[in-house]
A = this chain, B = another copy of it.
């Protein structure tokens, strides 16, 4: 940590900073410059509260050298973490599993049909929302526990493991019981009570990046889950807020190599929410695999024009089949592979 002093800070002000750092149990290292003095803190274990120093007279700002997260970092664990959500379905290794399905579970026929299409095309897991976070309280909010039961029916039918979103503690407990992987959505990325709750459930967690979250924010949210003893966390890039009305979100694929450089956790990408436009999903899914994504999460609906939510960004079954073929090609080109569906 580096404490930058105001130009012309008095010797007394610099000494006061040094004294407080020493009082906190660290060594202070003043560095006079041509324009300003800075004071280095040596031996910082990452738990210093900068606020106390930032509040001192003549302190301009605090520069953090060490990141505030620990267990999620590459420096904590150098080997990639491999998260297995079902036998044969793992994220973080050479394989790039494809998780597909409709935005919402709407009916038994719809979800079973979707699962069959996913499986037939070579998808590895099934997504589908039973509890839906919707911007408007008047939009369809999901089938709830009935939706979870239908997902289980689809799994029985096809063997595909299930990924579905939890919006609160109670939902998370139910999902831990019925499904294979608990998704935390973008809007709840900093719902710390929920993060702690899923940290205790011991199920794999798919944590989506918030709408304006930095990569450091995303890693800190994952740290909440690891701090509860659950290291089975898959991160997910799904686009961030943008100034360009042409797309729903700005899909930030640099997040993928960036997470790989900073953390041992796997990261997958969701080009459906990442762009919000069906015609952009295929090229951007290819780009995500080329960037090194450890999996793809994609919306596919048997009949997009009848979807109760997100119809405009859901692929048609034929488009999904074509996408699978393209992803296999790109994965091979970079020395990875798209696994086939697990044995039913």
Q: Does A187 contact B (CB under 8 A)?
A: yes
Q: In the docked arrangement, what's the CA distance between A283 and B211, Å?
A: 23
Residues of B within 8 A of A140 (CB): 49
Q: In the docked arrangement, what's the CA distance between A212 and B53, Å?
A: 29
Q: In the docked arrangement, what's the CA distance between A279 and B262, Å?
A: 12
Q: Does A266 contact B (CB under 8 A)?
A: no
Other-chain contact of A75, B7, B70, B258, B283 (Cβ < 8 Å): B7
Q: Does A244 contact B (CB under 8 A)?
A: yes
Q: Does A280 contact B (CB under 8 A)?
A: yes
The interface stretch among A85-93, A108-116, A131-139, A149-157 is A131-139
Q: In the docked arrangement, what's the CA distance between A227 and B134, Å?
A: 14
CB of B66 within 8 A of CB of A63, answer no
Q: In the docked arrangement, what's the CA distance between A128 and B280, Å?
A: 33
Q: In the docked arrangement, what's the CA distance between A214 and B248, Å?
A: 13
Q: A52-B311, A254-B284 are in contact. Are A31 and B34 (CB under 8 A)?
A: no
Shortest beta-carbon distance from A36 to chain B in Å:
6
Residues of B within 8 A of A306 (CB): 52, 55
Shortest beta-carbon distance from A137 to chain B in Å:
4
Shortest beta-carbon distance from A104 to chain B in Å:
10
Residues of B within 8 A of A307 (CB): 51-52, 55
Q: Does A147 contact B (CB under 8 A)?
A: no
Q: In the docked arrangement, what's the CA distance between A70 and B217, Å?
A: 33
Residues of B within 8 A of A223 (CB): 136-137
CB of B214 within 8 A of CB of A211, answer no
Q: Which partner residue on chain B sits nearest A45 by CB separation?
A: B34
CB of B38 within 8 A of CB of A44, answer no
CB of A243 within 8 A of CB of B242, answer yes
Q: In the docked arrangement, what's the CA distance between A251 and B247, Å?
A: 15
Q: In the docked arrangement, what's the CA distance between A326 and B289, Å?
A: 13
Other-chain contact of A253, B134, B244, B284 (Cβ < 8 Å): B284
CB of B49 within 8 A of CB of A42, answer no
Q: Which residues 210-265 of A sit at the B interface, judged by CB distance below 8 A? A: 210-212, 214-217, 220, 223-224, 227, 240-247, 250-254, 256-258, 261
A-B pairs with lowest CB-CB distance, top 3: A51-B311, A212-B212, A54-B312
Contact surface of A with B, Cβ cutoff 8 Å: 2, 4, 7-8, 20, 29, 31-36, 38, 40, 42-47, 49-56, 62-63, 65-66, 68-70, 75, 133-140, 167-169, 171, 187-188, 190-194, 210-212, 214-217, 220, 223-224, 227, 240-247, 250-254, 256-258, 261, 274-275, 278-280, 283-284, 286-292, 304-312, 314, 326, 329-330, 332-334
Query: Could you jot down 6 A-B contacts, CB within 8 Å?
Result: A36-B65, A49-B311, A138-B227, A171-B193, A187-B191, A332-B333
